[in-house]
Chains A and B, each alone.
Chain A
Amino acid sequence: MTGSKERFPITRRLVLRGAGAIALVGLGVVSLRGAPALAAANDKYPEEAFKQKDGKEAIKLLYGRTAEPSDKIKLDAPEIAENGAVVPISVSTTLADVTSIAFVVPENPNVLAAYYRIPQGTLPNIANRLKMAKTTSIIALVESGGKLFSATKEVKVTVGGCGG
């Protein structure tokens, strides 16, 4: 459905940075930062956490603590993924003062899928589409009032979508 795209006047800028910059990134000399405004936020792109193969390690790197299960988190995911390449997953929570939400897929080659920073005034309510390599529990992590909570749901995957 085309829907609303005509309604938005689009100002557009597509920039491919120079080869030099890419090479530097490759060597880890500079870390790429997003929009300059982000410099205000404390968090950087958690490069190391995204490389982790183990769920616990990724969570420790990301938050420096372990999560406790909470029934105040509603994690919505299909019982059987129609295709592991595109699994719609959403989370919402009634927990207060949420500062971040993350998704971990323990059976994926890299376990951390996404990490969302939630500034004040943004609702703790996210939907996204993730790849899942095989049947596994998906873990939603919610950082609330300086504590870490989690919810887990198993998703059956018969056609793996590890990157497809």
Chain B
Amino acid sequence: MARIGRAGSRLGVRSLSMPLAVLLLAITQAAVAGNVDPAAEARAFRDYFFKKFPNVKADDFANGPYALNEDMRRQWEEKEQFPPYEFSLEAGKEMFAKPFANGKHYADCFPDQGIGIRQNYPQFDAASGKVVTLELALNECRTANGEKAISYTGEDMAALTAYMAFTSRGKPFDVKLPDDARAREAYENGKRYFYTRRGQLNFSCATCHVQNPGERLRAEVLAPALGILNAMPIYRSDWGGMGTISRRFITCNSQVRSVPLEPQSEEYRDLEYFLSYVSNGLPISGPGSRP
């Protein structure tokens, strides 16, 4: 059974209360001693959400808040009739097909010509010892072919990843955690980032997306962490446009009044690695639209 470290799911000002934190720490550290298996962790992660939302079908977690709220789901279904990301998707398709100055294409940098492979990212790259996200791979493809890198938070990167996600729709996330201490460390770092409180509001990613999915924060219904990257990139009404995973992480950080990290920083890539790994098996649904 999945369980959460702190009893109950109330948010605590208590993290500021030192003695209690120390006490809890002592208890929980005892609990985590010993070997933890990421595959078992991922199962527990999924089970937590399945148990919390017994009426939501597993695949539906890829639709974020729309899986949890009927009124919002209807608004979304209406929008999906002619989704606002349509223009970006088309632009991405054109960009993807357009050759670089040297005559090569994005397709030459990826297996299967880049079609239907989004579910395999991020990947751990043994040569460099780092996590390679799809956004990073796209820019590495550009620079390897003599092109300038494009902004990780801009519309072009969103359009390219939208197209690549679209060709992978329905394919289950299949992120590999190879038997390599560095890969395991990247996963652990991503996990730690996910649960670490930050910013003036003292929120972690988990505060919103593990403890309170389905609840409203202002008007937004918080998405469950399970499947939260499956719909990326997303057209957010709040942005009035498309945004990448990098852009979303940066916005999340700002929302808790934390200074965002650099897009595709090690922390963000590791976080993406962790979040994708625990969502293995859930279908890619991107590009998506969100409030």
Contact = CB atoms under 8 A, between A and B. Distances in A.
A81 B79 contact: no
Contacts of B89: 2
Contacts of A86: 79, 84, 237
The size class of the interface chain A forms with chain B is 20 to 34
Interface stretch (B13-21, B49-57, B67-75): B67-75
Contact of B291 (A1, A79, A159): A159
Interface string B69-102: 0011011101110011010011001000000000
A96 interface: no
A83 B237 contact: yes
Given A78-B71, A82-B75, A83-B238, A159 B83 contact: no
A85 interface: yes
B219 A159 contact: yes
Nearest to A163: B240
Contacts of A157: 219
A63 to B, nearest CB: 28
- By secondary structure, the B interface counts as helix
- By secondary structure, the A interface counts as loop
B31 to A, nearest CB: 39
Contacts of A83: 219, 237-238, 291
A82 B90 contact: no
Nearest to A82: B291
Interface of A: 1-2, 5, 78-88, 90, 127, 129, 157-159, 161, 164
Interface of B: 71-72, 74-76, 78-80, 83-84, 86, 89-90, 93, 166, 218-221, 237-238, 240, 291
Given A78-B71, A85-B238, A159-B218, 11 more contacts: A1-B166, A2-B89, A2-B93, A82-B72, A82-B76, A82-B220, A82-B221, A158-B218, A159-B291, A161-B237, A164-B240
- Shortest Cβ-Cβ A-B pairs, 5 listed: A158-B219, A83-B237, A82-B291, A88-B78, A83-B291
